Amino acid sequence: MRIATWNVNSIGARLPRLRGWLSSARPDVLCLQELKCTDEAFPRDEMAELGYEVACYGTGRWNGVAVLSRVGLTDVTCGLVDEPVFEDATQARAIGATCGGVRVWSVYVPNGREPGHPHYQYKLRWLEALRGTVVAESGTGTPFAVLGDFNIAPTDDDVWDISLFTESTHVTEPERKALAMLRDAGLSDVVPRPLKYDRPYTYWDYRQLAFPKNNGMRIDLVYADESFAGAVTDAYVDREERKGKGSSDHAPVVVDLTP
DNA sequence: ATGCCTCTGGGGCAGAGA
């Protein structure tokens, strides 16, 4: 069984690349983030042509998450329990579904903007709500994982140059502590192979030749419980998908499990 | 090293991304 996660940075702009990637990689389950579309605008017919059912949660211009599956799709949950709001609005950042006997959550963790910003506090509160969902749903014997854009680099080696991040989100102690709390709740970080170079970055900025220079970050993560992690046979970052015109700034992370 | 930022909404350019 193949499960993947990909921040596509707009499902509309990425549709040709998404179709091509689904046809070649053929994941059984794909978690998507940053749809930037409403539920009505999601290209369900195009996904159905490729054999995928869709569960999506999107509100338009920003955010938006989905789960695609060709091994069944049930028990869809939109949003976290006690999910915090930002500026009085709930944002579409988490969707859970059960696919082929595996429980997955596709998440787009708030960016945080900068330490001290209200969005940063929102990010930390949001991660606490995610932990609540993990505690409630993982470790039951049904393989469970949270996959998505966590907007946190777990270690200093997960950014290309830590000295450039002294005033930045993504590497602060409270953010990393939130990840540690997820691990304390029974999840482990399924670290993918990089395919090239020595670090499995998943994101490279569009600017300043970041991708050719490999100035990347590992912020798209797979946090899996024991049942899920124990079944993993391989995991890799599909950096080929970051190349060329019309790419997302994130690459897919692919995990293979025993059937 | 595989390309010097891209996306949406709205109809210009602001806001977000990380």
Model confidence pLDDT, tens digit, residues A191-241: 999 999 999 999 999 999 999 999 999 999 999 999 999 999 999 999 999
Q: Is 80 exceeded by the pLDDT of residue A259? A: no
Distance A250 CA to B14 C1' (A): 24
Q: Is 90 exceeded by the pLDDT of residue A51? A: yes
Q: Give the domain ranges of chain A.
A: 2-257
Q: Is 90 exceeded by the pLDDT of residue A139? A: no
CATH numeric code, A2-257: 3.60.10.10
- d(Cα A5, Cα A147) in Å, to the nearest integer? 6
Q: Which nucleotide is nearest to A153 (CA to C1')?
A: B18
- B/e letters for A10-47, b = 16+ CB within 10 Å, e = fewer, are ebeebeebbeebbeebebbbbbbbbbbbebeebbbebb
Amino acid at A17: R
Q: Strand B: which residues have Cβ below 7 Å from it? A: A 7, 9-10, 12-13, 34, 36-38, 60-62, 110-111, 113, 119, 149, 151, 169-170, 203, 205-209, 211-214, 217, 219, 242-246, 249-250
Q: Which nucleotide is nearest to A239 (CA to C1')?
A: B2
CB-based contacts of A109, cutoff 8 Å, min separation 6: A93, A123, A126, A127, A130, A148, A149, A150, A151, A152
| Amino acid whose CA is nearest the C1' of B3 | A209
Q: Which nucleotide is nearest to A197 (CA to C1')?
A: B1
Tell me the average pLDDT across A39-63.
Answer: 94
| Amino acid whose CA is nearest the C1' of B17 | A111
Amino acid at A24: S
Tell me the average pLDDT across A75-91.
Answer: 94
Q: Given this model, what pLDDT does residue A128 score?
A: 97
Q: What angle do CA A137, A181, A200 make, to 5 degrees?
A: 95
Of residues A258, A191, A209, the one with CA closest to residue A231: A258
Q: Which nucleotides of B are covered by protein (CB under 7 A)?
A: 1-9, 16-18
- Tell me the C-alpha to C-alpha distance, in Å, between residue A216 and each of A44, A146, A170: 32, 22, 13
Of residues A255, A258, A259, the one with CA closest to residue A4: A255
Distance A156 CA to B5 C1' (A): 25
Q: How confident is the model at residue A52 (pLDDT cuts 50, 70, 90)?
A: very high
**Does residue A137 contact residue A144 with C-beta atoms inside 8 Å?**
yes
Q: Given this model, what pLDDT does residue A44 score?
A: 95
pLDDT in tens, A175-186: 999 999 999 999
**Does residue A126 contact residue A109 with C-beta atoms inside 8 Å?**
yes
